[in-house]
Structure 1
Amino acid sequence: MILRVIVGAAGQLGAAITTASARAGDRTLAVDPLITEAPPGIEVLRAGVGSPSFADALDAALAGATRGELILAGGRVPPLVRVPDATSHHVEAALADIVATFQALSVFAESVKSAAIGGSMLLISTVGARRPHRYMAGYDAARAGMESLARSFALAYAPHGITTRVLAVGPVAESATSRADGDLTDALVRLVPLGRYPRLDEVANAAITVASAALDCANGHTITLDGGLTVQLRPVDIERAPA
């Protein structure tokens, strides 16, 4: 039996991943202090990853499991602020996200190690960790820090059968961020070679797949889901055609 733990399950993406996990038929533990209603068939833990109840709940839930999978879908999207306008508070918020990520990975990895069953840890990041947004320096820095942590944990825990990887996601069709693009939406979508943004259900299903044992050999690596947006040197609108 797989136990899949979704941290940040109250967010839009976290909720979608939780639903996809339940549909896959695996035991699912949704972790988020902001969860107000338990979805059918989902176990809910309204606790922070730094609380003793998180560790206790993991130890209890892993009893009888044959594999443990953590999907970290949390993280706050800060206000859009230019670098010249940013303050130390934006940096502190970014560091707080990295600390929470470290706590979640540490507790989960040690619980799975103690249970001696193996498993995986998947961090949901953004393409902004490597191709920065113009107005989200704190957010991009936090995600870059998460990716660095993932690589460190990949080295430390793979000998115990616990692998770690990252899913870097581009703009998502149904997200609040893409809806805020307004009349720029069509022009922005044209920058994506696929011709559209990934859908929320595609990202959720991809997260379940990337966290699975089938991708354990991708230990320490980042997999990108953006329709090809960050692959190109220039968008087609300004690319010089061959003579």
Structure 2
Amino acid sequence: AAVRPAPEGLGDAEAAALTIAYQTAWFALHRKARIRPGEHLLVHAAAGGVGTAAVQLGVAAGARVIGVVGSPAKAAVATAAGAHHVLVRDDDLAARVKELTGGAGADVVVDPVGGASFEQSTRCIAFEGRIVVVGFASGDVPPVRANHALVKNYDVLGLHWALYQQRRPDLVDAAHDALTRLVAEGASRPVVADEVPFEDAPAAVQRLAGGTTTGRLVVHVAG
């Protein structure tokens, strides 16, 4: 039920990297946040799999994209994905986002990191902004302060994409069609950092856990 045609123009590894990361980014931006052209989009882990997808789809939606990466070495990946500005995560992140947005803050935040990144987002979210929580790569699940959301008038939205696959596969089909069109237009293309043989899959998982990878690692299963 979850099998769909691979978009023409993508290699096998790119097509394998399309589904979960790009579906997550699509639902975060369009189903949850209802992003609009001209809005400021803040993407945490912007050099990762979901992050590069969110950057590309944000640009395609007409947003002004600010990517956040964990180290200077990853900045070029976020820039290549289309981010208009790239920041290296530090304690001054909220202030720098406010500066880049003329003091208004980010209208939409896509956060696959959690922890301190979520806290920084609440400090630089715009009036009627939307923070979409898609994961906790930091290992730290942050508390959501309802009083803070009330006073600043922002929304915190959770996204569990796999639940759409179970309950609303029609929406997943529609998102896949939209992503296929973006690939055909050259507006979106998965970032594949490396392909590894099946026997090296455990080591690849450890590389992901170490936080040094960018884009997607694709496990090649010989058949």
**TM-score, normalized by length of structure 2?**
0.48
Higher relative contact order (CA 8 A, sep 6+): 2
**TM-score, normalized by length of structure 1?**
0.45
Q: Who wins on radius of gyration, i.e. which is larger?
A: 1
